[in-house]
Amino acid sequence: MLVLMAIEDMMSDLGAESVTAAATVEQALKLISARHFDFAMLDINRDGIRSDPVANALGADSVPFAFSTGYGNHFVEGAHGEQPILRKPYNRTNLTQIVNQMFPG
């Protein structure tokens, strides 16, 4: 819970105008279809449910995103294997790097 709020603050500090969070796949899909986001961070799986449908939706809407994971060696296979992966606990430097890569200047 506090982790999510810390991420919101980090994104805010990096210049995000607004940050929206979704707790379930259903919520995320609704949000994505309602508006176009500039960037997303996606738990690879949460409480045993994989987030592939969300990754697919983001891809379809051309929204750049990074995966986040608490597990050690997590490999992402298939269509989204090229997306960057952030390991918990998040490192402000890593997140900054990833965001700067995706939004240069």
List contacts with other proteins (CB under 8 A).
1-6, 9-10, 13, 21, 23-24, 70-72, 88-90, 92
Q: Within a 13 Å sphere around the CA of 1, how many CA atoms are in the beta-carbon half? A: 0
Query: What distance in Å separates the CA atoms of residue 98 and residue 54, rounded to the nearest whole number?
Result: 20
Query: In whole angstroms, how close is the CB of 98 to other proteins at the nearest point?
Result: 17
Other CB atoms closer than 10 Å to residue 96's CB: what's the count?
13
Report the Cα 72 to chain-centroid distance in Å. 18
Q: Are strands 40-43 and 65-69 parallel, antiparallel or unpaired?
A: parallel
Q: Is the Cβ of residue 65 or residue 68 nearer to other proteins in the bound state? A: 68
Q: Is the Cβ of residue 43 or residue 59 nearer to other proteins in the bound state? A: 43
Query: In whole angstroms, how close is the CB of 89 to other proteins at the nearest point?
Result: 4
Crossing angle for the helix pair 2-13 and 92-102, nearest 10 degrees?
50
Q: Is the Cβ of residue 70 or residue 81 nearer to other proteins in the bound state? A: 70
Query: In whole angstroms, how close is the CB of 4 to other proteins at the nearest point?
Result: 7
Query: In whole angstroms, how close is the CB of 101 to other proteins at the nearest point?
Result: 22
- Rg (C-alpha) for the chain, rounded Å, is 13
Q: Is the Cβ of residue 5 or residue 79 nearer to other proteins in the bound state? A: 5
